[in-house]
Chain A
Amino acid sequence: MQIRRMSAVAVVAAAALTLAACGDDSGGGSGGGGKVTIGIKFDQPGIGLKQGEKYSGLDVDVAKYVAKELGYKEGDITWKAAPSKQREQLIKSGQVKMVVASYSITDERKKEVSFAGPYFIAQQALLVKKDSGITDLQGLQGKKLCSVSGSTSATKLKAKVPGVNLQEFDTYSKCAEVLASGRIDAMTTDDTILSGYANQAAYKGKLQVVPGVGGDEIYGIGIKKGDTATCKKINDALKKMVQDGTWKKAVETNLGSEYKIDSSKNPPQPAACS
Chain B
Amino acid sequence: MSTLFDQFDVWGAFWMTIKLTVLAAVFSLVIGTVVAIMRLSPVPVLRFLGTSYVNVFRNTPLTLIVFFSLIGLWQTLGIELSAQLSVNAFRFAVIGLSVYHAAFVCEALRSGVNTIPLGQAEAARSIGLTFGQSLREIILPQAFRGAITPLGNTLIALAKNTTVVVTIGVAETAYLMSKVNEDAADQLTNVFILSAVFFVVLTIPIGLLTGRLSKKLAVKR
What would 10 A/B residue contacts be, using CB atoms closer than 8 Å?
A108-B186, A109-B185, A112-B185, A150-B182, A166-B86, A167-B88, A169-B169, A170-B169, A174-B71, A184-B85
Q: Is B68 an interface residue (CB 8 A)?
A: no
Please determine whether B185 and A168 come into contact, CB atoms closer than 8 angstroms: no
Q: Is B55 an interface residue (CB 8 A)?
A: no
Please determine whether B166 and A149 come into contact, CB atoms closer than 8 angstroms: yes
The interface bits of chain B over 154-179 (1 if a CB of A lies within 8 angstroms of the residue's CB, else 0) are 00000000000011110000010011
Please determine whether B167 and A169 come into contact, CB atoms closer than 8 angstroms: yes
CB distance from B17 to the nearest CB of A (A): 15
Q: Is A138 an interface residue (CB 8 A)?
A: no
The interface bits of chain B over 60-93 (1 if a CB of A lies within 8 angstroms of the residue's CB, else 0) are 0000000000010011101000011110110000
**In the bound complex, CA of A144 to CA of B181 (Å):** 25
Chain B residues near A112 (CB-CB < 8 A): 185-186
Query: What are the 4 A-B residue pairs with the smallest beta carbon separation, nearest first?
Result: A168-B169, A150-B179, A150-B178, A167-B85
Q: Is B197 an interface residue (CB 8 A)?
A: no
Q: Is B183 an interface residue (CB 8 A)?
A: yes
The size class of the interface chain B forms with chain A is 20 to 34
CB distance from B142 to the nearest CB of A (A): 44
Chain B residues near A168 (CB-CB < 8 A): 89, 168-169
Interface of B, helix, strand, loop or mixed by DSSP: helix
Chain A residues near B166 (CB-CB < 8 A): 149, 170
**In the bound complex, CA of A84 to CA of B85 (Å):** 24
Q: Is B184 an interface residue (CB 8 A)?
A: yes
Which A residues, 57 to 111, have Cβ-Cβ distances below 8 Å to chain B? 84-85, 88, 108-109, 111
Residues of A within 8 A of B (CB): 84-85, 88, 108-109, 111-112, 144, 149-152, 165-170, 174, 177-178, 181, 183-184
Residues of B within 8 A of A (CB): 71, 74-76, 78, 83-86, 88-89, 166-169, 175, 178-179, 181-186, 188
Chain B residues near A174 (CB-CB < 8 A): 71
Of A150, A165, A168, A169, chain B has the most CB atoms within 10 Å of the CB of A150
**In the bound complex, CA of A213 to CA of B25 (Å):** 42
CB distance from B186 to the nearest CB of A (A): 5
Chain A residues near B78 (CB-CB < 8 A): 183
A169-B169, A170-B166 known; A85 vs B84 contact (CB < 8 Å): no
Please determine whether B86 and A167 come into contact, CB atoms closer than 8 angstroms: yes
**In the bound complex, CA of A126 to CA of B175 (Å):** 23
Please determine whether B169 and A178 come into contact, CB atoms closer than 8 angstroms: no
Complex partner residue of A85 from B83, B168, B181, CB under 8 angstroms:
B181
Chain A residues near B83 (CB-CB < 8 A): 165
Chain B residues near A165 (CB-CB < 8 A): 83-86
Please determine whether B183 and A149 come into contact, CB atoms closer than 8 angstroms: no
**In the bound complex, CA of A177 to CA of B169 (Å):** 15
Please determine whether A151 and B169 come into contact, CB atoms closer than 8 angstroms: no
Please determine whether B168 and A108 come into contact, CB atoms closer than 8 angstroms: no
The residue of chain B having its C-beta at the shortest distance from the C-beta of A111 within the complex is B186
Chain A residues near B76 (CB-CB < 8 A): 181
CB distance from B166 to the nearest CB of A (A): 6
- Contacts A144-B85, A183-B78 supplied; 20 other A-B pairs, CB < 8 Å: A85-B181, A108-B183, A108-B184, A108-B185, A108-B186, A149-B167, A149-B169, A149-B178, A152-B183, A165-B85, A166-B85, A166-B86, A167-B85, A168-B168, A169-B167, A170-B169, A174-B71, A177-B75, A178-B71, A183-B74
**In the bound complex, CA of A144 to CA of B75 (Å):** 13
Chain B residues near A84 (CB-CB < 8 A): 182
